[in-house]
Structure 1
């Protein structure tokens, strides 16, 4: 018997996740269920699903919304000898990595494992050698391992500025041949304290997930054929050539979120200048429908709305911080070079209230249909 309740994992409000914390074990149980695909609220709920109430379960694919919401409840930690396939995905950063390790060590007969997790609060990078020795060595029957593991580390905990090549050194001699890595330095804000940290990722190839976050200028030259939602972030500017690489490497991209407060060094001198001066080849994003530039410099509003730089034929949702940025780039909604990329927008999200002037309404005609 198979059951699937799997909403979009990186849009938490699209469907409420299952919560078992305050329910008796008989509420969600089955003596015949073998395959379950489900989204749950907390890591606790994942442990509840594996406490013996689903005795025949051989395959579990679970999306966890809030990994750090873990109670002090005592869970059944018996071996999960029937489980052959396990997938765990969570798109929120969390600290509970050690609990994940303990959970996976119960699955000694596992044949297929999928992990997509982002970990913070550690002073060491989780590399492939660590994964091999702490997890995979406990799974002698494992035949397939698909993964993306990102560790967010304070630079002060690193002996030097870490690069992808440093992580790559941990990928040898452990039997994982098709693996890559990347390191990005990103801004962080915790309790109103601002700083920088390293986002250190390791992942299997081909990259089979549809969501990827916090890659920067130094991402590897790989085609990510399955990624439709991407978050890019760096502490140095994204130039035009970088966005050309993004278009080539993410051919099916639908949702792009840009987080970069730094001005484009190469393009900013020419920003808002004569639109007849073509400095770059035009980048096209043929599938992009959602553009989020809320936490970005005004240069990236120019980069994506100016059709002499970027063409987005199917953009329907636009998110930005300040209406002043949009007014400056579009020259108070009269500029022809930014009109076409705005023509199909049906939804605008802004931190500032929108002023529905006549020129604004003509610029975004589908907002009113």
Structure 2
């Protein structure tokens, strides 16, 4: 890694570069994470002597190595001049380590954590974070007790914070996080705060839920918060109720677990979306999705209910009442957890147009049926640009081999580069 800094301009780079943005274009999960922290991230801080701004990014957080400071010396990843850091970290321990004094001049900190399922294993001595002015925290999966015992106490130390961005999904909660909670548990400790952006998703098992609130109740609880407008989505599925409260305009690139009922808002920043319900998604629902999420690139559909009233038979005939839905930027589509009707909904060009689709995750049998063993004309166009096909559930390698040798299969997927079986959730 360090060889990349061996250049005739080494001295100039060391002295003059103050802002560095490191972009990962490929999935580097196979790299030793802890070694990457010391061999790359720490080396960057040592090499660039006047570095004040470091951002590490990729196409999606888990596609590049996170910073890992747990069980490493407190002198690791140390800087006396860095004032802005944006990076993906392994767990909340690493967040606490970054704030233990090793980055004393830090004023802006932007962190992404994939999941937060364990309590902090180390003791960190963190004083009031008086220098911190801007803090952004994204956690895609967090247990409720960790939110209460780890995150909220940290917020209380950010006494001079001016901008807070919070995107978090919390599981196993028995009470809602509403405007009253945000005011009493967070904002009261941040008297200088003037900008608040948030998307808080709470997943609650219905038999654990003590007090239900309507959408109007939740919105009313924000009436005393002076910041921008907010909205919420309530989705009832099986035994789980999902509440999502968020500030407007919606500034995040990911939204999960919305169902048939969601507000008529244009989510211009959302690129990744999961739709999930135990009530069927009709054709009109996907029209609304296309309108509300005009720049959508990644879509996952989870619904085990048939679209039509015929539960035992797939109707593949063209319906004259359908108007074609267009997703001009959609590059990845996941249908392996959806009823067979949804495979037809998206692959049938008389219903949906997918000019940019390059990755498809789908059940093998459903794909076979919908495409009529890769012979159906109306499902050919939306498959023509696919480069990566992920088959679920896992099937025998011999079946995949025979499928790839099929003339009709190859005509269906002329640009295919990879066809693999899905062994686990992506």
Would you say same fold, with TM above 0.5?
A: yes
Q: Distance in 2 between matches of 1:331 and 1:288?
A: 24
- Give the structure 2 partner of residue 291 of structure 1: 333
Larger Rg: 2
Is the alpha carbon distance of 1:109 and 1:234 closer, same or farther for their aligned partners in structure 2, counting shifts above 3 Å?
same
- Give the structure 2 partner of residue 278 of structure 1: 320
SS of the equivalent of 1:171 reads coil
Kept in 1, the 8 Å contact 2:196–2:227? The answer is: no
1:138-168: per-residue Cα shift (whole Å, max 9, x none)? 1110010011001111112335765433422
Matches within 5 A, 1:182-193: 182-187=233-238
- Give the structure 2 partner of residue 346 of structure 1: 387
State the 1:265 CA deviation.
Answer: 3.6
Matches within 5 A, 1:86-165: 86-95=135-144, 96-98=146-148, 99-158=150-209, 163-165=214-216
SS of the equivalent of 1:365 reads coil
1:284-339: per-residue Cα shift (whole Å, max 9, x none)? 0010010011111111101100111111111110001x211001111111111101
- Give the structure 2 partner of residue 68 of structure 1: 117
State the 1:186 CA deviation.
Answer: 3.2
- Comparing both chains, which one has the higher relative contact order based on Cα–Cα distances under 8 Å and sequence gaps of 6 or more? 1
Kept in 2, the 8 Å contact 1:148–1:201? The answer is: yes
Kept in 2, the 8 Å contact 1:239–1:267? The answer is: no
- Give the structure 2 partner of residue 167 of structure 1: 218
Kept in 2, the 8 Å contact 1:272–1:329? The answer is: no
1:241-267: per-residue Cα shift (whole Å, max 9, x none)? 110000000000011011111111468
1:175-219: per-residue Cα shift (whole Å, max 9, x none)? 2441000111235xxxxxxxx211101100000111111111111
Q: Which runs of 5+ in 2 are unaligned?
A: 1-51, 419-426
- Give the structure 1 partner of residue 293 of structure 2: 250
Give the ranges of 4+ consecutive aligned residues of structure 1 lying more than 6 Å apart after TM superposition: 267-270
Q: C-alpha root-mean-square deviation of aligned residues, in Å?
A: 1.9
Kept in 2, the 8 Å contact 1:108–1:139? The answer is: yes
Matches within 5 A, 1:321-332: 322-332=363-373
Q: Distance in 1 between matches of 2:257 and 2:285?
A: 14
Is the alpha carbon distance of 1:294 and 1:200 closer, same or farther for their aligned partners in structure 2, counting shifts above 3 Å?
same
Q: Which runs of 5+ in 1 are unaligned?
A: 188-195
Kept in 2, the 8 Å contact 1:147–1:203? The answer is: yes
Q: Distance in 2 between matches of 1:128 and 1:266?
A: 41
- Give the structure 1 partner of residue 79 of structure 2: 30
State the 1:235 CA deviation.
Answer: 1.6
State the 1:342 CA deviation.
Answer: 0.5
SS of the equivalent of 1:253 reads coil
Is the alpha carbon distance of 1:24 and 1:163 closer, same or farther for their aligned partners in structure 2, counting shifts above 3 Å?
same
How many residue pairs match? The answer is 357
